[in-house]
Structure 1
Amino acid sequence: MTSKDRQTEKAPKEYLEVLGDTVVPSSLLLSVVISVTCTIGGFFLGQAIFPSLAEAKMVNSYSLLLGIGGSVLALIVCARLFKPSRQLKEEQTSAENLHAIMDDLQIDAKTEYELIVNDPVTRKEMEELGILETFKRSGEREGK
């Protein structure tokens, strides 16, 4: 293995954010090509096959149905080819981290705490997770 191969292998992949998800651009492009090819290919295949099998007024409907089938096939192919590349990292959240996160999201901790306390379902979930007190302390810190 040459040094150039090692550098290429270690180089981080570039990602794009599309509709709130992070994707590899080459995978996105290839999946779009696969989807368009299968969908339009199914439609045109129907336009070629169905005139000899169905009534003339039904050819377009059947062709559209075959195009939809092509898009489902593309979905299955793309799901098999492109596995999720997410890397989730869990870390312990402290009161300071929570306060920093709320600042980043421009959330008022006191208002959030009041909403949590007033909703019994949310309050119960927060108590079970053991983070209600963290929200309470953050809300008190905001109130000062």
Structure 2
Amino acid sequence: MKANEAQSAWRLVEVWGDTADTGHLAWSILIGASVSIVGFLVASRILTVVVATPELARAYAMLAGLAGCLLAGVICAILFRPKREVTEGDAGDPSWREEVLDKLAAESGGLGTVADLPAAAVREMQELQLFELFAARERHSPAIVPTGNAASPVSPVQPQSTAM
């Protein structure tokens, strides 16, 4: 089984942030080029007779070639299924979440506070079960000072003036 996994792993490449099989990618390129070029050539031949000027016929033929690209995309989507596997559930070791939070906190803007989030973001984080993770991190980090917003009743912290 490991040899089969290793063999299939080398065939996978990342293209524009997505995983693709190199064989399927090559076939997709061939299908896309063929369908679009054939569409362009057929439309060019037909439109040269029908349209008044050759420039306009060529422009319409280019549109037919673009339509061929879309058709090729549909054909390839039917022939070659996605290679990614989406799994839901606990990822096992939760320490990676803490590492991600550490990296986010180290960035120039920092983590901020959950009180700064709009109500829609709070609801989404609760649905994804991430709200408590950020809230717990905030409770354990006294350096974070909430600034508050409309989604939270926390009022902003105002600096005290020192009049002399």
Mark the structure with the bigger radius of gyration: 2
| Same fold at TM > 0.5 | yes
Higher helix share: 1
Counterparts of 2:120 and 2:129 in 1: how far apart (Å)?
14
Residue 23 of structure 2 is aligned to residue 36 of structure 1: no
What's the CA shift for 1:32?
Answer: 1.3
Aligned-residue offset at 1:108: 0.9
The corresponding residue for 1:73 is 71
1:122 aligns with 2:121: yes
Which segment is superposed worse, 35-44 or 124-133? 124-133
| RMSD, aligned CA | 2.9
Distance across 2 between alignment mates of 1:143 and 1:95: 22
1:1-144 equivalences under 5 Å are 11-14=7-10, 15-57=12-54, 58-92=56-90, 96-103=95-102, 106-108=103-105, 111-114=110-113, 116-119=114-117, 120-143=119-142
Q: CA offset at residue 21 of structure 1? A: 0.6
Which stretches in structure 2 are left out of the alignment for 5+ residues? 144-164
Secondary structure at the aligned position of 2:133 is classed as helix
Change (3 A) 1:90 1:7: closer
SS at match of 1:87: coil
Q: 1:32 to 1:143 in 2, by over 3 A?
A: farther
Letter of the aligned partner of 1:123 in structure 2?
A: V
Name the amino acid aligned to 1:124.
R
Q: CA offset at residue 79 of structure 1?
A: 0.9
Deviations 1:64-109 (A, max 9, x none): 1221221121111111111112112333267534203334xx2118
CA deviations 1:38-76 (Å, max 9, x no partner) are 112211222222222222243112211221221121111
Deviation at 1:128, TM superposition (A): 4.5
Structure 1, unmatched stretches of 5+, are 1-5
Percent sequence identity is: 24
1:19 is matched by which residue type in structure 2?
Answer: W
| Cα distance in structure 2, aligned partners of 1:28 and 1:143 | 51
How many equivalent pairs are there? 136
Which protein has greater RCO, CA pairs closer than 8 Å, 6+ apart? 1
